[in-house]
């Protein structure tokens, strides 16, 4: 199975900050990397697919980059509604696997 490792596990930031999340795959997954946002009690919401493509309806302050094994998700200017948990997921091969998530908290 492909292991997905996210760092950091938690992050404190303020409204207006620029933040970057990191995700590393245990082997190359090309660009088959997706990012999700999850709020308490809700299902994950797709933000970025294929490493850098913005899902329809997602604000442009979200962006993704990377290929192979190393990927980033960046929020250019944090808004109050962005405080949530962010998870990466590889869709290169089954079993599809997720990172353990990074919880973004208000500083």
Partner 1 sequence: QVQLQQSGPGLVKPSQTLSLTCAISGDSVSSNFAAWNWIRQSPSRGLEWLGRTYYRSKWSNDYAVSVKSRITINPDTSRNQFSLQLNSVTPEDTAVYYCARWLSGTRPFDHWGQGTLVTVSS
Query: Element (H or E) spanning 88, and its range?
Result: strand 85-90
Do residues 38 and 44 touch, judged by C-beta distance below 8 A?
yes
Stretch of 17-25, 30-38, 59-67, 70-78 contacting partner 1, by CB under 8 A: 30-38
Q: Is 21 in the site for partner 1 (CB under 8 A)?
A: no
Q: Which two tokens stand for residue 1?
A: 């199975």
Q: How far apart are the first and last CA of the chain?
A: 36
Q: Which residue, 15 or 50, is less far from partner 1 as judged by CB?
A: 50
Please say whether the beta carbons of 8 and 85 come within 8 A.
Answer: no
**Contact between 86 and partner 1 per CB under 8 A:** no
**Binder among 19, 21, 25, 34 for partner 1 (CB under 8 A):** 34
**Minimum Å distance from CB 30 to partner 1?**
11
Among candidate residues 41, 48, 38, the one with its CA nearest the CA of residue 91? 48
| Residues making contact with partner 1 (CB under 8 A) | 1, 32, 34, 36, 42-46, 49-50, 53, 55, 87, 89, 91, 94-101
């Amino acid at each position: 199975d492909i292991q997905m490792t996210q760092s950091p596990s938690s992050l404190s930031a303020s409204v207006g900050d620029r933040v970057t999340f990191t995700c590393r795959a245990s082997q190359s997954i090309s660009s088959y990397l997706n990012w999700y946002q999850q709020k308490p009690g809700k299902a994950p919401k797709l933000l970025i697919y294929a490493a850098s493509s913005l899902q329809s309806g997602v604000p442009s302050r979200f962006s993704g980059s990377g290929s192979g094994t190393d990927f980033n998700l960046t929020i250019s200017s944090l808004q109050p509604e962005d405080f949530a948990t962010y998870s990466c997921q590889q869709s290169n091969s089954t079993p599809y696997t997720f990172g353990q998530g990074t919880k973004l908290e208000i500083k």
